[in-house]
Structure 1
Amino acid sequence: MVVDGVPRAKPPPEVCVRGALEWEHTLVAFLVGKRLPAIKVKEVLQRKWGQVGVLSFHTVSNGVFLIKFENGHARDWVMDNGPWDIWGFHIALRKCTKGMSLRLEECRSIPVWVKLSNVPVHLWSNEGLSYIASVLGRPLYMDAPTTKRQTLTFARICVDMLATSSFPTAINLDLDDGSSTVVEVEYPWKPQACSLCKVFDHANKSCPKAVRREWLPKPVVQACRTPGDADGWITIKRKNPQTIKEVPAGETQRNDENHSRREEQNHPHLPPKTPTKDGEMPITAGKPGEPTSASPEINPLGSKVVNIDGGSIMMDNNRGKAICTDPQPAGGTNSSSKKKKKKGLNGVGAALHISPND
């Protein structure tokens, strides 16, 4: 029918009742945190739950499935023996009710199994455990060992927890005698939740509403920009530019005298230097063995040797003087090829071949 131009449909109440009875023994399975192929999920659940009865598998959306059982006993067995996982990924189960949302992105709460340790014995009852678990969320049911009190080490309870929960790990319990104790909380599986969207469909890091960090230029850098700078570049100036100052002539001479005085103190074995007069250029002494600028040029005739009356005359390269050497004795071996050492510039003689025909 059309009401105010809007098409509307209103089924009779008996149709809704018959439809709700058809899905009475059905579980809604939420695969949180992982998307697996529906055919693989069906194979795993059929192998795990097929032993309690016949079940049918229905895909609602990506990550949401309906598992329909023949009776409530098989459904409750699956609920009591949780938690369940598929290939290591937890699957959250909830009883199908009339009007519940079947979309994971609209799921504000989800069933989570918790383990409560250090529970006082006098509170180990359905009412006492429900009171403690209500701090975490809405208690749904307990597993069979907890209900039968087979072990009092810890209690396992399925709690419907909100996506905004902080998942506390401890509960402070105040007792009737005025004392207090701490009940430890452990989560075998903790679903990823988005605190911004308040759903379990995704985590905060992948939330579309999350604030993204964007790089922005610093105000200081913007202030340094000039119209001539290229895009993305700025001109950087030195903080302390060096300036060259002109030193007076008298200051330079005093600095040289101070430097010479320090050299004499550091090297006392060196001969004292002749002080320079005004207008004269100082002569810098070179290293030992090296000619200085004040030394005379090397005599080009110093390398020639003249044999006179069986003797030899060598020219000193440093001073240009002739040095006479005595002739070798007649009994000398291979006197024609005897090598003489000539005194060189740095005190190391150079070997010269002396021939009697020269």
Structure 2
Amino acid sequence: KFDLKEIGNGFFMVKFNTEESKANVIDGVPWKIGDRYLLVRQWTSDFNTEKELFKTMVWARILSLNFVYYDESFLWTLASAIGHPVKVDLDTLRVEYGRFARVCVDIDIRYPATGKIGINGEWYEVQYEEKYFPIDRHSIGTQST
């Protein structure tokens, strides 16, 4: 369950009653209604509907990452090379995937997405689960109770 409030200029804030509900929304990124993508991001106290919103959450896969790096704190550090870390996928932490590590990050859509990251001289390709397309200025900010 959640509360949805319009906060002006085509922006909405969603207030979740539980962390689980919030996690379900983040896990479902990217969100699309018809042919429109919703830009989803964590709520910040300095959010201003008069400014253009350029950040959104995306799931990124770090391909062929050595299992020695499947440590949550290391993956958070690695995710920070892609964007602002939001979440490390639980299946990644359980090593359910053998081909990639999956992290959710806030990225700035004004700039090209990071395509590769280097660790100790080895380069790993970064792949995004779905191309993000900023359409209009519709967004959902999230805030837990």
Superposition TM-score, scaled by structure 2 size: 0.74
Name 2:131's counterpart in structure 1: 189
- Partner deviation per Cα, 1:231-274 (whole Å, 9 max, x = no partner): xxxxxxxxxxxxxxxxxxxxxxxxxxxxxxxxxxxxxxxxxxxx
Letter in 2 for 1:123: Y
Spell out, residue by residue over 1:125-181, the C-alpha distance to the aligned partner (whole angstroms, 9 max, x if none).
Answer: 21222222222221111233223322232222121223443213222332xxxxx32
Q: Secondary structure of 1:75's partner?
A: helix
Match of 1:70 in 2: 17
Check if 1:123 corresponds to 2:64: no
Query: Percent identity, aligned pairs only?
Result: 24
The answer on whether the counterparts of 1:172 and 1:182 sit within 8 Å (CA) in structure 2 is: yes
Report the Cα distance in structure 2 between the residues aligned to 1:103 and 1:120, rounded to whole angstroms: 44
- Runs of 4 or more consecutive aligned structure 1 residues displaced over 6 Å after TM superposition: none
CA distance 1:173–1:87, change in 2 (3 Å): same
> Aligned partners of 1:140 and 1:155: how far apart in 2?
14
Letter in 2 for 1:189: K
In structure 2, the CA distance between the partners of 1:76 and 1:192, relative to structure 1 (3 Å rule), is closer
Paired with 2:54 and 2:31, the residues of 1 have a C-alpha distance of 21
* Cα shift readout 1:65-85 (whole Å, capped 9, x = no counterpart): 122222222222322343322
CA–CA distance in structure 1, aligned partners of residues 36 and 92 of structure 2: 24
Counterpart for residue 89 of structure 1: 36
Q: Tell me which of the two structures has the higher relative contact order, counting C-alpha pairs closer than 8 angstroms and 6 or more residues apart.
A: 2
Q: How many Å separate the matches in 2 of 1:90 and 1:60?
A: 18
**1:160-213 deviation per Cα after TM superposition (whole angstroms, max 9, x unaligned):** 223443213222332xxxxx32211112223449xxxxxx95xxxxxxxxxxxx
Residue 156 (structure 1) aligns with? 102
Amino acid at match of 2:31: W
Give the distance between the partners of 2:75 and 2:100, measured in 1 at CA. Answer: 11
Cα shift at 1:123? 0.4
Asked if the contact 2:75/2:88 (under 8 Å) is kept, the reply is: no
| Secondary structure of residue in 1 paired with 2:22 | helix
SS of the aligned residue for 2:81 comes to: coil
For 1:101 and 1:78, how far apart are their aligned partners in 2? Answer: 22
Larger Rg: 1
Contact 2:30/2:132, CA 8 A, preserved across alignment: no
Q: Secondary structure at the match of 1:132?
A: helix
Provide the alpha-carbon RMSD of the alignment.
2.6
Match of 1:79 among 13, 23, 26: 26
Higher strand fraction: Structure 1 or Structure 2? 2
Equivalence for 2:142: none
Asked if structure 2 preserves the Cα contact closer than 8 Å seen for 1:58 and 1:67, the reply is: yes
- Closer/same/farther in 2, CA of residues 84 and 164 from structure 1, 3 Å limit: closer
Q: Check whether the contact 2:9–2:49 (CA below 8 A) recurs between aligned residues.
A: no
Kindly indicate which of the two structures has a greater share of residues assigned to helix. Answer: 1
Partner of 2:143: none
Residue pairs, 1:269-308, within 5 angstroms:
none
State the secondary structure of the residue aligned to 2:93.
Answer: helix
One-letter code aligned to 2:131: W
